[in-house]
Amino acid sequence: MLLTLLLAPVYLLAQKKDNYAPIKPEITTLFSKTLNEPRKLFIYTPEKDTANPQRSYPVLYLLDGDSHFSLLVEYCRYLSRWDVNVIPEMIVVGISNTQRTRDLTPTHSIIDYFGHPDTSATSWLKPSGGNDKFLQFIREELMPYVESHYQTQPFKILAGHSFGGITAINCLLTHPGMFSAYIAISPSFWWDREYLLQLADKTWGNGTILNKTLFYSDASEGVADKSTFHTNLQKFDSLITQKHLVGLSHKYIYYPEDTHMTEPVKAYYDALRFTYSQWNPPSQ
């Protein structure tokens, strides 16, 4: 009884302070001159800090925003809540898809998941290879838009799953300065006969200085089927170790009990915790 009475004020404080209702994201459209099309954006911003109206926030740019925006927002809200407080509050920008294969693949390729060429007239691989232009859209149009409309900090995260995962890796390899941290959930290293594994080997010399954070993971792909998915992740992890990259804080997790589509639920949580594993909350 005494314990109940002692805990009651804490419970009431939490109830009063949080009012943890579902969020309604801001949805806006940005016309891209680079891509020559409008792109729908889902944007979450933390509740206004009335005690510090000029407070700014790190920004997480999320690929496949149509699929994973709500998941990431709820993780960010909960983990940054005052009574959890293991990551900072942040802005989340979810980027919707129009032509996913075009935007999220680094090269044009007709080679499918199992290494077979697909030359059919209706092949889903046909529009591939537009990732450089898509990253240009993020760098030259989306980031300036976000930074001019919201109170942002320099720390930026790029997060993606599957093709979004290879977009994150391709960005780290070709434009490492764009983001402070990279999250690649089940990156599709099988793409174009392991193009990105070869690019990483060529791009990173022994002792290359990066000063970045990278989380990467996979699930039962390549174990439950006969693809090279899992062995590709192992090759990438070994390559990073062998290159002795300076300043790269990295972590690889394998989720054998999960599938390609269930893994993000666990992996994005682990990725956020790892990205901010050295973060210390500011004194209240």
Query: Coil, helix or strand for 62?
Result: strand
Q: If you write DSSP's letter for every residue of 189-251 in order, what string do you get?
A: TTHHHHHHHHHHHHH--TT-B---EEEEEE-STTTSSSSSHHHHHHHHHHHHHHHT-BT-EEE
Domain annotation covers residue 5: no
CATH number of domain containing 97: 3.40.50.1820
Domain annotation covers residue 229: yes
Backbone angles phi, psi at 276, to 5 degrees: -110, 30
Model pLDDT for residues 1-15, shown as the tens digit of each residue? 444 444 444 444 444
Report the domain count for the chain.
1
What is the pLDDT confidence band of residue 150, given thresholds at 50, 70 and 90? very high
User: Does residue 283 carry a pLDDT above 90?
Assistant: no
What are the tokens at 233?
């992740």
Domain annotation covers residue 9: no
Distance CA 91, CA 41 (A): 12
Check residue 282 and give its pLDDT. 82
Model pLDDT for residues 41-88, shown as the tens digit of each residue? 999 999 988 889 999 999 999 999 999 999 999 999 999 999 999 999
Mean pLDDT of 26-44: 98
Give the range of the structural domain holding residue 85, as residue numbers without chain letter. 24-45+56-113+124-275
Domain annotation covers residue 7: no
Domain annotation covers residue 3: no
DSSP H helices, the chain, are 2-18, 65-79, 100-103, 131-137, 143-149, 163-174, 191-203, 229-243, 263-275
Question: Would you say the pTM of this structure is higher than 0.85?
Answer: yes
